[in-house]
A = this chain, B = another copy of it.
Amino acid sequence: MKPKPVIEINPSTEDKIKDAARRVFTRKGYAATRTRDIAEESGFNLALINYYFRSKEKLFDIIMVEHLQLFIHSVMGIVNEPGTTLEEKIGLLISHYIDMLVKNPNIPLFVLNEVNADPKKLIEKIGVRGMDHNELAIAKQWKAFAAAKKIKVNPIHILMNVVALAIFPFVGSPIIRNRTGLSIDQFNALMEERKKLIPVWIMAMIDSSTT
């Protein structure tokens, strides 16, 4: 029989399972996660996770799609806002990224991993469909900016650098923390610093690539 979704008032069993699954999946990845881990983490019986979500994979897909959509939409909101300058957008993006990552430090590695495991499945499932990248506000602003400054570097480099500088520390955090002896709080303080530093760095990099 099909379980019938209920209107959720306070966290329903279904939501509690989903939250537990989110925690376990992002911490251990899909392959290393046992449905029993999710049952234990949620405090409910093993069979319930299949009762509500049919299968481990379905549950995983739901969580992953929610993650990516939340992420993409929030980024799109910044990137396609005509009212801010290019530099402001970079600042906002970085700030937004880092805030989110301090709260959910496991997400990047999790997402990178699962996209890597099956690129088609996830990327196309989300698809910012019907949206041509060149039509984004930020793209037009970049073109004007690049022309004015006579920038010769491929903008893909800049894009990769923005993302890399914001995300990588979180992905490498276990190694970084181990080698430097930083506490989580000290690490997060460094990440706070980077909210201001990265935009400056990006601009400096861009300037270093002008004719």
Residues of A bordering B, CB below 8 Å: 28-32, 109, 112-113, 115-117, 119, 123, 133, 153-154, 156-157, 160-161, 163-165, 167-169, 171-172, 174-180, 182, 190, 193-194, 197, 200-201, 203-205, 207-209
Contact = CB atoms under 8 A, between A and B. Distances in A.
Contacts of A179: 123, 133
B29 A178 contact: no
A112 B197 contact: no
Contact of A117 (B32, B177, B197, B205): B32
A115 to B, nearest CB: 5
A206 to B, nearest CB: 9
A75 to B, nearest CB: 12
B193 A201 contact: no
Contacts of A172: 112, 160, 163-164
Contacts of A160: 168-169, 172, 176
A174 B116 contact: yes
A190 B207 CA distance: 19
The residue among A30, A167, A171, A200 with the most chain B CB atoms within 10 A of its own CB is A171
Contacts of A163: 168, 172
